[in-house]
Structure 1
């Protein structure tokens, strides 16, 4: 038996055991810089039995363009008298094209002045997914070349952010609950072990050593159940706080609440004061609260614990959002 330290999970894990004696798994992972074609990732996922739905959608060329051009700015040169900074500014975003300018900002420290000069231009053609550049000065050429290189990379290859998103979405479907505030360590119920195993197999087949994932089973014991119930309540608090923030609440205020009851009261205040939230946002909040309620019910069965007050509170919050949605629809003239 291996005991995870207090700084990580404070949960006991075992390297083996019968299925009847296992609550679920502790899962942790890390992702560093990597590149992989989407088609290759899809093939690997299918091979290990992971549904293709977890693979992020194909990259939009316009997103690759914006990401690439956003990374070419920075300090060109600096001394005691002045600093020259390269900035990228979007001047046009139309149906057929996007244009961004390279601007050199000169910060004159001696005379406390700012000077601006356009030194280059980058144009993205949406129909063809191509970019063209114009260098007005020699110092713009390295940045423009870098933009082209990065665009080719981000257009064709998934990077670490995509892999991280894949794992997190899959863990979300596995009803994962974070058990370590300062790091990516999660608990997933035993029912989702096939997905966890498929994820782990996928990680092992990815090129290089950029992604790492481990999982250990958690034994079915009173101490572990109590710990998981505590973590679940914390998870619910965090999720409700995020939903409240999405609806216009003060995230800093919401996050300091110590109980679901007090958080719910703050949530109610937010909804009474909020009149500008969109119908789409309100419906999304209702959906998230329903998903959260179902997750709580699943853990209630797993932990053999009565979490009825948590489910009831979530139901109240859903009704409050529904009332707000009806009010906003009426005020905006939406039937």
Structure 2
């Protein structure tokens, strides 16, 4: 595996070695299908010393309802002349309930006609988190029964997406920087090794062999530092591009990674031209830029490198977003 990482990233990892000679760790993981109760995941996290804040929030029953009912559609029958398709259509979304109808669409290929028939009803009561179904025809029963089963599953169980989100959130707090163009392999500074070890222990305790995580230490050497600085700069470019897009910039323009200076210029043009942006979005952008500056500062110390121009550019961008935020407040009549 270490050979693969060397070929992919031009970084090299070692097994063991002196702690003082370690820059950090290469971390990679994969998550496939799995199910686990949130309470069980919280307990496992606590057992390995991982803060509960990394565990995603409890599933909202309404989200589980929408997901479950969205997965019951599909082809009922198909023939040379007629095809019957099940569809789910939302007809009401109120404060107390959500109502969806199960519709059968009949496609008459010969006469080029579409006919629709309501064959079932699905109601979700927000206060109690309950789902009620009514089958108006026998052919609706299998789909409605499937919806009830899926609702129970999605309401009670975390799946692979939740575990993947947990790992990525924790890696974000470990100042992770992607070291492969396609992602999936990250570098984290040595100071965060306790969290990486806790994550690794958690993954091993999950009730699924479909979840894997590995990490190897990276030695402290000049060529390693040079490569990591290059990856960090690419990371900053990518993050600035994403923040610019979030503020309404042209994603295609902002994704062209020339230099941070040229990207910052495009970013500034975005802010000058953009008038429609919420205060929440602008504040989020400011916070993300502040976090990015802190990350650069930390890597500056780790790599014994002067990244002052990167920090200065991020500061300029923060000030530009602050100007945008002030403009939004004035436009909305906020003093």
Query: In which range does the TM-score fall when normalised by the shorter chain?
Result: over 0.9
Shift of 1:87: 1.8
Q: How does 1:1-335 map to 2 (within 5 A)?
A: 2-5=2-5, 8-335=8-335
Going from structure 1 to structure 2, the CA distance change for 1:252 and 1:107 (only over 3 Å counts) comes to farther
Shift of 1:264: 1.0
Q: Give the TM-score normalised by structure 1.
A: 0.96
Check the 8 A contact 1:102/1:119 in 2, yes or no. yes
Tell me, in whole angstroms, the C-alpha distance in 2 between the residues paired with 1:281 and 1:219. 40
Give the match's secondary structure for 1:243: helix
Tell me, in whole angstroms, the C-alpha distance in 1 between the residues paired with 2:269 and 2:156. 47
Check the 8 A contact 1:4/1:12 in 2, yes or no. no
Shift of 1:44: 0.8
Shift of 1:5: 4.5
Check the 8 A contact 1:289/1:318 in 2, yes or no. yes
Give the match's secondary structure for 1:13: coil
Tell me, in whole angstroms, the C-alpha distance in 2 between the residues paired with 1:10 and 1:142. 54
Tell me, in whole angstroms, the C-alpha distance in 2 between the residues paired with 1:45 and 1:148. 30
Q: Give the TM-score normalised by structure 2.
A: 0.96
Check the 8 A contact 2:279/2:329 in 1, yes or no. yes
Give the match's secondary structure for 2:333: coil
Tell me, in whole angstroms, the C-alpha distance in 2 between the residues paired with 1:84 and 1:266. 51
Shift of 1:313: 0.8
Check the 8 A contact 1:3/1:11 in 2, yes or no. no
Tell me, in whole angstroms, the C-alpha distance in 1 between the residues paired with 2:16 and 2:245. 42
Shift of 1:72: 1.3
Shift of 1:217: 0.3
Check the 8 A contact 2:6/2:12 in 1, yes or no. no
Shift of 1:82: 3.8
Q: How many residues of Structure 1 are paired with residues of Structure 2 in the alignment?
A: 335
Flag structure 2 segments of 5+ consecutive residues without an equivalent: none
Deviation digits for residues 17-61 of structure 1 (CA, Å, limit 9, x no counterpart): 111110000000011111111111111111111111111111111
Shift of 1:119: 1.8
Tell me, in whole angstroms, the C-alpha distance in 2 between the residues paired with 1:54 and 1:137. 45
Check the 8 A contact 1:4/1:11 in 2, yes or no. no
Give the match's secondary structure for 1:294: helix
Deviation digits for residues 135-190 of structure 1 (CA, Å, limit 9, x no counterpart): 12222211111110011011111111110010000000000001112231100000
Tell me, in whole angstroms, the C-alpha distance in 1 between the residues paired with 2:113 and 2:225. 63
Check the 8 A contact 2:25/2:189 in 1, yes or no. yes
Shift of 1:256: 1.7
Tell me, in whole angstroms, the C-alpha distance in 2 between the residues paired with 1:320 and 1:122. 49
* Alignment RMSD: 1.5
Check the 8 A contact 2:85/2:104 in 1, yes or no. yes
Deviation digits for residues 231-259 of structure 1 (CA, Å, limit 9, x no counterpart): 11111111111111111112122112321
Tell me, in whole angstroms, the C-alpha distance in 2 between the residues paired with 1:120 and 1:253. 48
Tell me, in whole angstroms, the C-alpha distance in 2 between the residues paired with 1:253 and 1:111. 48
Give the match's secondary structure for 1:320: helix
